[in-house]
A and B are shown apart, each in its own frame.
Chain A
């Protein structure tokens, strides 16, 4: 039997028409233009910073880009950067994994059982509106000064964001898909694996993306208060010594790490959600 109405589909890559080629060329040009402007802006900002440091403002307060990059280079060579950064990354990663894992599982359970969700709703809202960072002193009391309290802070922050997003994602699942797969023979685990989890993926990823900076903030704040190692500790120590250059260098490292994690999640999102229209 011959195919008849396959014209609407694009499964096989057709030959590019000139219109398509022109459209793609325009898109590419635009992308380069944006990148160029971004670099130009960054460089002018650095130039302005360098100029104003010493000319307009006392370098004691704003340091200067050259000093910051020199410091970063120093730290990299001496191993000081990795020694502290690895600690921060480990605590963030662990807190992230614990918070996201528990948030995901509970989000799915609450999403599936509407009654439970309705019962707990006011309590969840109440805890959600607490600034999670305010929990840090409590965690330090419970877990003492060290890794555990930092992990607890970032886990608490990530938990709520992932939990609420997963929950909404599960509530959004189209019941048609659930019924259709059940009729085909799916048991509840099959429905979970092939319908609910994939359908909620977009929400879960959003939760993860939003919580990355918070997890980092949670760890760093933990390190401000109680640590002897980690980027937060480095920043706190430097500020106590009025070492502005080290403070800026620490902040720069955090900014770079945050952007890299987000870029990674964006790639994962693009792949996981490639089925979306």
Chain B
């Protein structure tokens, strides 16, 4: 398989008035086509920073990120990015938000309406098509952003804690949907989560980041075969083994993270 995203010696230093903050240190990572990679790590270890660099929203301090043979410089339009912070446009209704990427691509109205409708059904927001974001809960806005990202069918998806604001049950439903889309449409997904079981349930590879400054500390291949049933996967012995091993790597980082 070919590398979709190739991260080489990437570092991020934020320069502020009070000097430099090193957010990420020497990250090397190759993500292959069709992989489902999850990032876990204590908060503040640079997971969002890395996604921001892959999407081209912020500059890379040193190192390179290459996607499909092309170095990333400036905004990256070859990914779909579900950001950690709310990016749904408050002045557009739910359906107009989801239609946005299609509008930019000049998709004709009739096709736009049909595709938006299908997406809203997928995230079960079809009754809220005409609502403004202010009328929705945080979890619902995340689902609008998800629909908005999926509607234009990017091959590579960056997702920053997409299901963090959802209740436990809906979270499982959304994970199952995402796995289905990933498999049927052969997407490559980079998925940040603070929920270890979520990472193991969906990902083929879990990357553990150390506390600040972030580095890749450990990589765990998840041996559970696809298609997976996210509702049952956590009762498998492979799940438990992966959990044990990841937790051992992660626990000291989280403790360290707290006294930072």
Residues of A within 8 A of B (CB): 1-6, 8-12, 176-177, 179-187, 190, 194-195, 198-199, 201, 274-277
| Known A4-B169, A8-B136, A184-B152: A179·B75 in contact at CB below 8 Å | yes
Assess whether B223 is interfacial by the CB under 8 Å rule. Answer: no
User: In residues 152-175 of chain B, which contact A (Cβ within 8 Å)?
Assistant: 152, 166-167, 169-170, 173
**Proximity bits, B37-79, A CB within 8 Å = 1, else 0:** 0000000000000000001110000000000000000011101
**Within 8 Å CB of B56, what residues of A?**
183
**Within 8 Å CB of B90, what residues of A?**
275-277
User: In residues 113-156 of chain B, which contact A (Cβ within 8 Å)?
Assistant: 121-122, 124-125, 127-128, 130-137, 139-140, 148-149, 152
A-B contact pairs, 11 of them (CB 8 A): A8-B136, A10-B131, A11-B127, A176-B83, A183-B79, A185-B101, A186-B100, A187-B104, A194-B100, A275-B92, A277-B134
State which of A185, A195, A275 has its C-beta within 8 Å of the C-beta of B152: A185
**Within 8 Å CB of B132, what residues of A?**
274-275
**Within 8 Å CB of A201, what residues of B?**
91
User: In residues 76-102 of chain B, which contact A (Cβ within 8 Å)?
Assistant: 76-77, 79-81, 83, 85-87, 89-92, 100-101
Most buried by B among A181, A182, A183, A187: A183
| Known A8-B136, A275-B91, A276-B90: A3·B127 in contact at CB below 8 Å | yes
State which of A5, A11, A195 has its C-beta within 8 Å of the C-beta of B89: A195
| Known A1-B124, A1-B173: A9·B134 in contact at CB below 8 Å | no
- Tell me whether A176 and B167 are in contact (CB under 8 A): no
Known: A177-B87, A186-B100. 7 other contacts (CB 8 A): A5-B170, A177-B89, A183-B81, A194-B92, A194-B103, A274-B132, A277-B90
User: Chain A nearest CB: distance from B153 CB in Å?
Assistant: 12
- Tell me whether A190 and B104 are in contact (CB under 8 A): yes
User: Which are the 9 A-B pairs with shortest beta-carbon distances?
Assistant: A8-B137, A180-B87, A11-B131, A184-B101, A185-B104, A198-B91, A277-B134, A3-B124, A275-B132
Assess whether B195 is interfacial by the CB under 8 Å rule. Answer: no
Alpha-carbon distance between A185 and B85 when the two chains are bound, in angstroms = 19
State which of B86, B131, B169 has its C-beta within 8 Å of the C-beta of A9: B131
User: Chain A nearest CB: distance from B143 CB in Å?
Assistant: 9
Residues of B within 8 A of A (CB): 55-57, 75-77, 79-81, 83, 85-87, 89-92, 100-101, 103-105, 121-122, 124-125, 127-128, 130-137, 139-140, 148-149, 152, 166-167, 169-170, 173, 177
- Tell me whether B173 and A5 are in contact (CB under 8 A): no
**Within 8 Å CB of B136, what residues of A?**
8-9
State which of A6, A181, A187, A199 has its C-beta within 8 Å of the C-beta of B91: A199
| Known A11-B128, A183-B81, A195-B89: A4·B135 in contact at CB below 8 Å | no
**Within 8 Å CB of B152, what residues of A?**
184-185
User: Chain B nearest CB: distance from A252 CB in Å?
Assistant: 39
User: Chain B nearest CB: distance from A196 CB in Å?
Assistant: 11
- Tell me whether A176 and B87 are in contact (CB under 8 A): yes
**Within 8 Å CB of B104, what residues of A?**
181, 184-187, 190
User: Chain A nearest CB: distance from B135 CB in Å?
Assistant: 5
Most buried by B among A2, A5, A177: A5
**Within 8 Å CB of B92, what residues of A?**
194, 198, 275
- Tell me whether B167 and A4 are in contact (CB under 8 A): yes
CB-CB nearest in chain A for B151:
A184
| Known A176-B83, A176-B87: A183·B55 in contact at CB below 8 Å | yes
**Within 8 Å CB of B105, what residues of A?**
185
- Tell me whether A198 and B89 are in contact (CB under 8 A): yes
- Tell me whether B140 and A1 are in contact (CB under 8 A): no
| Known A5-B170, A182-B77, A201-B91: A11·B100 in contact at CB below 8 Å | no
Most buried by A among B130, B136, B169: B136
**Within 8 Å CB of A4, what residues of B?**
124, 167, 169-170, 173
CB-CB nearest in chain B for A201:
B91
User: Chain B nearest CB: distance from A30 CB in Å?
Assistant: 25
User: Chain B nearest CB: distance from A171 CB in Å?
Assistant: 17
**Within 8 Å CB of A177, what residues of B?**
87, 89
State which of B100, B125, B127 has its C-beta within 8 Å of the C-beta of A12: B127
**Within 8 Å CB of A186, what residues of B?**
100, 104
CB-CB nearest in chain B for A181:
B100
- Tell me whether A5 and B167 are in contact (CB under 8 A): yes
CB-CB nearest in chain A for B165:
A5
User: Chain B nearest CB: distance from A260 CB in Å?
Assistant: 28
- Tell me whether B166 and A9 are in contact (CB under 8 A): no
**Within 8 Å CB of B89, what residues of A?**
177, 181, 194-195, 198
- Tell me whether B137 and A9 are in contact (CB under 8 A): yes
User: Chain B nearest CB: distance from A277 CB in Å?
Assistant: 4
User: Chain A nearest CB: distance from B179 CB in Å?
Assistant: 13
